[in-house]
Structure 1
């Protein structure tokens, strides 16, 4: 009996550490949340009003990119572009979309021959952005956010 009593006493004295609650600081919680946060993806991609009815995230992204590409293509089709040689090139356009819905061309990658033949291509693309319909910005965790994306455009001038 004495042995059992001693065993229980030792057990009670050493088991107090098991009942202590460890406090987690708010900074630790914040750091854990920031590390788990995916900074490169948005909850909802930017869209035009014509794409708002689409619920699937990837389809909505495709709708936005296709609408933008078609708009730029239609604008360039109306312009009189004169070249000395045939051009078939894929131009990669890099855009920034602000959280207020303002789209800005930041960079373009194209072949040197294309840049030489159509030196004002960036100005034409920037001009085409002025007549875009209203763009609804990307959303991350319920907030409008800035977004950057690339869009390939195929140029074929004969």
Structure 2
């Protein structure tokens, strides 16, 4: 009986040590986890329906960029851009894909080129109004906003 009592006393002292440990602060744990996340990379690239079936991340990214570039070139090879801005044979386009799948396109023009920027913006908006649906990028299971720039050849 004494042996059982000694064992019970030993285990009760040992188990008390578990309660003495400090519980980590929730905010501190959150900050530690946030520091571990690479916010410059996404888990899944934005995509078009045609690229969704590709499982390899690098191939999916390539498919997305090829589709985006070809769609932009097709829609921006408009006679109005060529007539109004003959000095533009290519243009940089800033593309923003929002978490709700909305897409925003902004032409990036060098300050050395004098253009009517409002007119160019308006042509962009009209030409790209019916742009195909783009699924947003995913980070940790959540749709996120992404931005990038693409060079687009206007005149071939």
TM-score between the two structures when normalised by the length of structure 2: 0.72
After TM superposition, the structure 1 = structure 2 runs for residues 1-158 of structure 1, keeping only pairs within 5 Å, are 21-80=21-80, 81-82=82-83, 87-89=88-90, 91-106=91-106, 108-110=108-110, 112-113=112-113, 116=115, 120-156=119-155
Give the direction of change, closer, same or farther, for the CA distance of 1:150–1:106 in structure 2 (3 Å limit).
Answer: same
SS in 2 for 1:99: coil
Q: CA deviation at 1:50?
A: 0.7
Q: CA deviation at 1:83?
A: 5.9
Q: CA deviation at 1:109?
A: 3.3
Q: Note if contact 1:95-1:149 (Cα within 8 Å) is conserved in structure 2.
A: yes
Distance 1:107 1:118 in 2: 9
Q: Note if contact 1:83-1:118 (Cα within 8 Å) is conserved in structure 2.
A: no
Distance 1:101 1:72 in 2: 17
Q: CA deviation at 1:118?
A: 8.8
SS in 2 for 1:136: coil
Give the direction of change, closer, same or farther, for the CA distance of 1:84–1:92 in structure 2 (3 Å limit).
Answer: closer
Gaps of 5+ in 2: 1-16
Distance 1:28 1:103 in 2: 36
Distance 1:106 1:118 in 2: 10
Q: CA deviation at 1:46?
A: 0.8
Distance 1:47 1:126 in 2: 21
Give the direction of change, closer, same or farther, for the CA distance of 1:117–1:154 in structure 2 (3 Å limit).
Answer: farther
Moved segments of 4+, more than 4 Å:
83-87
Gaps of 5+ in 1: 1-16
Report how many residues are paired: 138
Q: CA RMSD in A?
A: 2.9
